[in-house]
């Protein structure tokens, strides 16, 4: 089968969750003998528009370079016509059986349109909330959770408050800002932004609903989309898998007297890294013995990282480890006893939880979104209340004080789905959709 996989970024330059999902699917398909081409954005701050096509390890990749700020930036972020033109050119030169879009961020509108024009089976894998949320993660600029896109006015206000001149007043005087937005709405001062949001909503709703199959890694994500009226031909729950062999032979560090709590990910407020710091400092002040390792690039939000580093400077038990190479992931996890995932947003299926499970590690996670589906409280890990550092502190203290708890939780960590199992499920749908398309062409 010849498959085109589209995604907003691809390793090694881009290595977040969606990109890793795409890479895993591509490598799995290639290993099974299928022809795969990747259509991926490489850079959105490059003048002009160009496509670089290069052979990789068993597949071809088309990397896009353009400047998203040329013209209507807001629309270009989800529906940039040159992206569609580039994809049409690729389809003219190849006979593909199917198009698979991962996430939809940046390119979803155009990929869906071109797939429909070509009459090809079209699959979307959701990894976050891009099709309903212009900010991707259903979070307000102040890092508070958003319940969802109840109205275009609500989303327009959220986008306004991303701007510095509105952000601080919204945080300091919310009631005053409520009055301001009510007046602005009545005076039609926000009409242009509201219309832009409405166009985005309709464009991406049609894009998602044009898919023959929409794959979600969590039940929560499906429920969120259906609760806001997204009607697709078929939603399918397919849990992510992991391709690296499990590492279940490590004895807990707790037996040697020092527990290691680990974090791997972005050092950003929506990931809740500050909650870890707020939770552990009082315990360390009280003389508790454990160490904390924080892994992740610390230059993305310098002011946030520097504030946390200043808070932790007097504590030698807290180690800022910085960026890591993916080849070292399993060695890093092997040094942990527990992984902490304190996210403030509706995570769907964090790969790091699967990787921790693969390494036999219990996880302490926020009782929210897909995290609550993946961590079974008191059995394979511990859950704590959103934004509640005191509750997180209590769960950590339990591990410090209860000598049997770590071993009990480790024993409860379930086996993780292998990537081949995940690909079996995905490819079965590929075959079904291609066969349906073939039958339609015959009739």
The answer on 339 and 261 residing in a single domain is yes
The torsion defined by the Cα of 83, 86, 87 and 91, in degrees rounded to 10, comes to 170
Per the structure block, which two tokens stand in for 39? 């259509």
pLDDT at 141: 87
The pLDDT tens digits of the residues spanning 83-99 come to 999 999 999 989 999 99
The answer on 399 and 342 residing in a single domain is yes
In three-state form (DSSP H/G/I as H, E/B as E, the rest C), the secondary structure along 140-200 is CCCCCECCCCCCHHHHHHHHHCCCHHHHHHHHHCHHHHHHHHHHHHHCCCCHHHHHHHHHH
The answer on 433 and 384 residing in a single domain is no
DSSP string, 400-421: HH-TTHHHHHHHTPPPPPBHHH
pLDDT at 187: 65
* Higher pLDDT pick, 298 / 405: 405
The answer on 431 and 388 residing in a single domain is no
d(C-alpha 5, C-alpha 98), whole Å:
9
pTM recorded for the entire structure: 0.88
**Residue at 97 is within a domain:** yes
d(C-alpha 353, C-alpha 74), whole Å:
33
d(C-alpha 144, C-alpha 8), whole Å:
26
The answer on 436 and 399 residing in a single domain is no
Going by pLDDT thresholds of 50, 70 and 90, the confidence category of residue 166 is low
The pLDDT tens digits of the residues spanning 43-67 come to 999 999 999 999 999 999 999 999 9
The answer on 263 and 119 residing in a single domain is no
In this prediction, residues 290-302 reach a mean pLDDT of: 91
d(C-alpha 260, C-alpha 213), whole Å:
42
The answer on 436 and 301 residing in a single domain is no
The pLDDT tens digits of the residues spanning 322-346 come to 998 878 999 999 999 999 999 999 9
pLDDT at 59: 98
pLDDT at 91: 97
- Tell me: pLDDT of 295 over 60: yes
**Residue at 238 is within a domain:** no
Are the C-beta atoms of residues 333 and 339 closer than 8 Å to each other?
yes
Helix (H) or strand (E) segment spanning residue 6: strand 2-7
- In the chain, the N- to C-terminal Cα span, in Å, equals 22
**Residue at 141 is within a domain:** no
**Residue at 234 is within a domain:** no
Residue from 251, 224, 53 nearest 150 by CA: 224
Per the structure block, which two tokens stand in for 424? 């079996």
In this structure, is the dihedral angle defined by the CA atoms of residues 77, 79, 81 and 85, taken in order, positive or negative? positive
Q: How many domains does the chain have?
A: 3
Going by pLDDT thresholds of 50, 70 and 90, the confidence category of residue 172 is low
**What average pLDDT is seen over the chain?**
91
In this prediction, residues 428-443 reach a mean pLDDT of: 86
d(C-alpha 340, C-alpha 292), whole Å:
10
**Residue at 377 is within a domain:** yes
How does strand 60-67 pair with strand 45-55? antiparallel
170-184, 208-222, 391-405, 414-428: lowest mean pLDDT where?
170-184
The position carrying tokens 């580039």 is: 86
pLDDT at 252: 46
**Residue at 247 is within a domain:** no
pLDDT at 255: 44
d(C-alpha 342, C-alpha 367), whole Å:
9
d(C-alpha 161, C-alpha 398), whole Å:
40
**Residue at 137 is within a domain:** no
The pLDDT tens digits of the residues spanning 219-255 come to 999 999 999 999 877 899 999 998 776 554 555 454 4
Q: Which residues contact 3 (CB under 8 A, 6 or more apart)?
A: 29, 34, 35, 36, 37, 96, 97, 98, 99, 100, 430
SS3 428: helix
CATH value at residue 310: 3.40.50.2000
Per the structure block, which two tokens stand in for 133? 């949320």
Residue from 345, 200, 206 nearest 271 by CA: 345
The answer on 399 and 293 residing in a single domain is yes
Distances in whole angstroms, Cα of residue 91 to Cα of each of 77, 85, 95, 97, 98: 22, 10, 7, 10, 11
Residue from 383, 407, 400, 409 nearest 282 by CA: 400
The pLDDT tens digits of the residues spanning 4-56 come to 999 999 998 887 889 989 999 999 999 999 999 999 999 999 999 999 999 99
pLDDT at 14: 87
d(C-alpha 381, C-alpha 363), whole Å:
5
The answer on 300 and 403 residing in a single domain is yes
Structural domain that includes position 272: 253-411
**Residue at 282 is within a domain:** yes
The answer on 16 and 101 residing in a single domain is yes
The answer on 316 and 290 residing in a single domain is yes
The answer on 371 and 273 residing in a single domain is yes
pLDDT at 17: 82
d(C-alpha 269, C-alpha 300), whole Å:
11
- Tell me: pLDDT of 442 over 90: no
Are the C-beta atoms of residues 430 and 1 closer than 8 Å to each other?
yes
In this prediction, residues 127-134 reach a mean pLDDT of: 95
């Amino acid at each position: 089968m010849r498959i085109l996989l589209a995604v907003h970024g691809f390793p090694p330059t881009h290595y977040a969750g969606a990109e890793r999902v795409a890479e895993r699917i591509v490598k799995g398909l290639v290993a099974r003998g299928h022809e795969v081409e990747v259509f991926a954005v490489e850079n959105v701050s490059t003048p002009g528009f160009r496509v670089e096509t290069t052979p990789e390890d068993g597949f071809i990749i088309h990397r896009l370079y353009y400047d998203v700020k040329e013209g209507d930036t807001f629309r270009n972020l989800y529906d940039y016509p040159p992206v569609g033109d580039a994809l049409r050119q690729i389809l003219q030169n190849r006979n593909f059986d199917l198009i698979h879009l991962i996430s939809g961020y940046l390119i979803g509108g155009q990929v869906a349109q071109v797939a429909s024009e070509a009459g090809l089976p079209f699959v979307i894998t959701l990894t976050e909330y891009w099709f309903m949320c212009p900010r991707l993660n259903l979070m307000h600029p102040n890092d508070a959770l958003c319940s969802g896109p109840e109205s275009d006015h609500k989303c327009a206000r959220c986008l306004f408050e991303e701007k510095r001149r509105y952000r601080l007043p919204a945080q300091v005087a919310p009631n005053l800002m409520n009055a301001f937005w009510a007046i602005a709405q009545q005076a039609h001062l926000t009409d242009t932004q509201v219309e832009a949001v409405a166009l985005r909503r309709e464009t991406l709703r049609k894009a998602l609903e044009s898919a023959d199959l929409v794959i979600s890694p969590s039940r929560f994500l499906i429920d969120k989309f259906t609760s806001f009226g997204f009607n697709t031909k078929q939603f399918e729950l397919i849990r992510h898998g992991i391709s690296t062999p499990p590492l279940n032979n490590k004895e807990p560090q707790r037996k040697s007297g020092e527990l290691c709590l680990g974090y791997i990910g972005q050092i950003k407020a929506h990931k809740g890294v500050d909650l870890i710091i707020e939770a552990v400092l009082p315990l360390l002040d009280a003389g508790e013995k454990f160490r904390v390792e924080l892994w992740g690039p610390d230059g993305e939000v310098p002011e946030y990282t520097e504030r946390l580093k200043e808070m932790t400077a007097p504590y030698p038990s807290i180690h800022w480890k910085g960026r890591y190479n993916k080849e070292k992931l399993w060695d890093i996890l092997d040094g942990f006893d527990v992984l902490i995932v304190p996210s403030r947003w509706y995570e769907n299926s964090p790969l790091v939880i699967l990787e921790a499970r693969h390494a036999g590690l219990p996880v302490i996670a926020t009782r929210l979104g897909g995290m609550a589906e993946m961590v079974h409280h008191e059995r394979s890990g511990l859950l704590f209340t959103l934004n509640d550092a005191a509750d997180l502190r209590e769960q950590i203290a339990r591990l410090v004080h209860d000598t049997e708890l770590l071993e009990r939780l480790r024993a409860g960590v379930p086996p993780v789905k292998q990537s081949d199992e995940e690909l079996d499920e995905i490819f079965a749908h590929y075959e079904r959709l291609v066969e349906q398309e073939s039958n339609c062409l015959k009739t």
